[in-house]
Amino acid sequence: MKLCTKCNIELSNDKFYKRKDSKDGLSSQCSECRRKVVRKYYSNNSDKWKKYSEDNKEYIRVNKKRRLQERRLDILTYYSSGKPKCSCCGESHIEFLTIHHIDNDGAIHRKEIGGSSNLPKWIIDNNYPAGFSVLCYNCNCAIGNHGYCPHDITVELC
């Protein structure tokens, strides 16, 4: 439990953004208060923000890509229990690995959270929930298209 410095309400730690530069690794304001502050800032400084965005497109693009890769690696490592690898065939090249929805409800879930680009952030914000595994692209596609993976020898073909 932690006290939000803005609304002075004690909330559970999962209601705060993660911050690497703070002592406890969490923001001092809860997620809801922080969102309000950020929205107000951007609405009051929209011209300033547009100019900054235009002047720093490459910097913003590179950092966004870096953050996405860091999140993806954290998630792959977590769901692989250490070293990222496909839970079906053992493929370990990071470039080939994907996040698999165990219940095969990926399309529905991605629609609910606003697209596949939001999945890494959603997983981290929700404290790595159950229902996901790591598969390589081939195994993931095979399960999605055929209902099974050819590596799974327990499936009998007619």
Q: Could you report the per-residue pLDDT of 86-110, keeping only the tens digit for each?
A: 999 999 999 999 999 999 888 899 8
CA–CA distances in Å: residue 85 to residues 30, 60, 95, 98, 139: 35, 30, 11, 10, 12
pLDDT of the chain along its 158 residues, tens only? Answer: 899 999 999 988 888 888 888 888 898 999 899 899 888 988 898 898 889 989 999 999 999 999 999 999 999 999 999 999 999 999 999 999 999 999 988 889 989 988 888 899 899 989 999 999 999 999 999 998 888 888 876 655 54
d(Cα 95, Cα 69) in Å, to the nearest integer?
A: 10
Portions of the chain given CATH number 3.30.60: 1-43
**At 142, is the secondary structure helix, strand, or coil?**
helix
pLDDT at 158: 46
Q: Model's pTM, two decimal places? A: 0.67
* CATH class name, domain 1-43: alpha beta
